[in-house]
Amino acid sequence: MLLATLSPVSTVFAQYGASPSQTGLFFDDLRTRVSTSGLGDAGVRGGQAVYDYDRGSYTEDEREMGQSYVHSAVEAARQMGQPSYNSGVTGSARGASDYTFYSGQYTSPSTFFAPTYVSDPFMGGRRNLKMGGVNIGFGLYGGLEYNDNVTRSSTNPVEDFIGTLLLNVDANYQVTRHNRLTLTTSLGFDHYFEHPEVAPYGSGDFVLNVLPGSSIAFDLKIGPVFVVLYDRMSVRPAVRNDFGLSANQIFGVFQNDAGMAAQWAINSDWTLSANYMHSNSRALEDQFDVFNRDMDSIYGNLTWSPSGTWSLSLQGGMSWVRYPQQYNNDGVLANLGLVFATPLGENTFLRVAGGLQDFNFDDPPAFSRTVTQKDIDQTNLYISNLNQAITSGRLTEAELKKANKDLTMAQTLLTNQNLVLAAENAQYNSNNRDTSDLTDYYYNVTLSNQLNASINHVLSFGHESALNNISNYVTADYINYGIGIVAWRGSRLSLSGYYENAKMSGGLQAENLKQHGFDAYFGHQIGQRVRMGVGYHYGHTDSNRAMRDFTQHAFSADINFALPTIATLSFGYRHF
């Protein structure tokens, strides 16, 4: 699949409601939505700049009414030359990301209210159809890639051609001066031509993709209060282990997030924001339904920005998480902390957050054994001794009769013991058996800097905990660095590296991992219609569990054609 070469401006892995950094990004997106909606005025200078291929340099992103605002992280993803979901092997943990289930070391290229591509990469957020008061942007993406190792296996690799078709829609309707309805989505399917059985989910003939961030939202302004009612949906890959890359750990998930957010400009210095969200996640295959999850979250953010440049925020809230299949333990998650954001001069922006996290989970179901392996071993030994006595020829007729009767009873007992042990093992393994709770600090720091018109780079590091699929939670220390360089007009070289030290809380499958890696991607746009790029990824993982260390090298090459402006055709090659 496409190698992750996105600007690492966020935490390592996270979910909204569990991870303070991702919750903070939601409120950043909400402020951006308010300040660019035309319904209200709010927000702090974000130091955002995007690369303009026509000018050959980074420029401020300014949009007219009726055009969509494109966040710099989203634009950076587009500038890499490919959408994150252009490949049928999007199940890699490095590519399957969502604000409510994030499993990769790079920032999600989507915003909360829009997927990675609300239009094709050549449109840059512009609308191409107006029907009365409705502004609509349509984009069509078609891709064909050859992957010489779809399952990323070191032995017996499986190669295949994978086709992708995506329809991108970005529409808004200004109902009144203070009310607006928006729809953003990118949906389509993948097709595996030779080996549909290796698809991350579905039949392989038609693997449905609805990109994270696909949403319908209604914005309204009531006096000084901006309110947005929203419903988000995605159909996407997820991973059994957030830090694993094994293809057999990938499964499909349907997720729906419905909620209401509000922002109140109390005065010119103070802004109060709040959000309630109900989230449902359901695995698309029955064998993975143990990872089904429901969550309700309430979070708030109080921001003080006396000068309109820097800001200080108090942010916190609670989430209630439930697992219908009870493999993972239900819990109550809370966090509270401060966020400080400020420009440093004209070209540097600093964001620092820190506080406390508190996770309390239910205890695993009560369990006691009636049969152990030791009991079975003793029964086997008893049967062996009886067989020896029976075949020794030293028993009397009465003793032989009794021994045969005892042997029959022992064999029946052994059969029952094996059945009970298997049932009790299944009962025991039906829960992660993690009894861990958490009270810990968190912090995350992001420093972005535009060195000049050609170079932009970002450094982020932190310590944070989030939910995990095979334990109650996972805690990670991480550092990421990325740099984008305009070598000449129309080109972009993206380099990034990462290090992670992740520790799962406990349970049957607890694992500690140390990971580091490097990514490079070079893209070049030829005129207004053609874009091409090549990429390389190196990653290494050290595990405290046997046979879990691995090193990965991967290569990619792509060429994109705009056939008209609203349609994109891509051809790619992947090597793992």
How far CA 281 is from CA of 49, 256, 290, in Å, comes to 34, 7, 11
Blockwise average pLDDT, block size 10, the chain, 576 residues: 28 59 82 71 35 43 43 43 32 34 42 60 58 82 86 81 87 88 89 88 82 89 93 81 53 91 93 96 89 94 92 96 95 96 91 96 96 96 94 89 94 97 95 96 91 86 89 89 84 85 91 87 83 85 86 84 78 83
Residues in the chain, overall count? 576
Q: What confidence score (pLDDT) does residue 128 get?
A: 67
Residue 231 CB coordination number (10 Å):
14
Two structure tokens written together for 199: 């698809």
Q: What confidence score (pLDDT) does residue 563 get?
A: 79
Nearest to 439 by CA among 478, 472, 479: 472
Q: Residue 367 in contact with residue 428, Cβ under 8 Å? A: yes
| Gap between the Cα atoms of 152 and 160, Å rounded | 12
Torsion of CA 59, 64, 68, 70, to 10 degrees: 10
Q: How far apart are the first and last CA of the chain?
A: 9
Model pTM above 0.85: no
DSSP annotation of 111: B
Element (H, E) at 116: none
Two structure tokens written together for 283: 């695995």
Residue 156 CB coordination number (10 Å):
7
User: How far is residue 426 CA from its own chain's centroid?
Assistant: 30
Q: What confidence score (pLDDT) does residue 343 get?
A: 92
Q: Residue 157 in contact with residue 151, Cβ under 8 Å? A: yes
Q: Residue 74 in contact with residue 111, Cβ under 8 Å? A: yes
Nearest to 507 by CA among 547, 549, 545, 458: 545
Dihedral angle sign, alpha carbons of residues 573, 94, 75, 129: positive
Q: What confidence score (pLDDT) does residue 319 get?
A: 96
Q: Residue 105 in contact with residue 462, Cβ under 8 Å? A: no
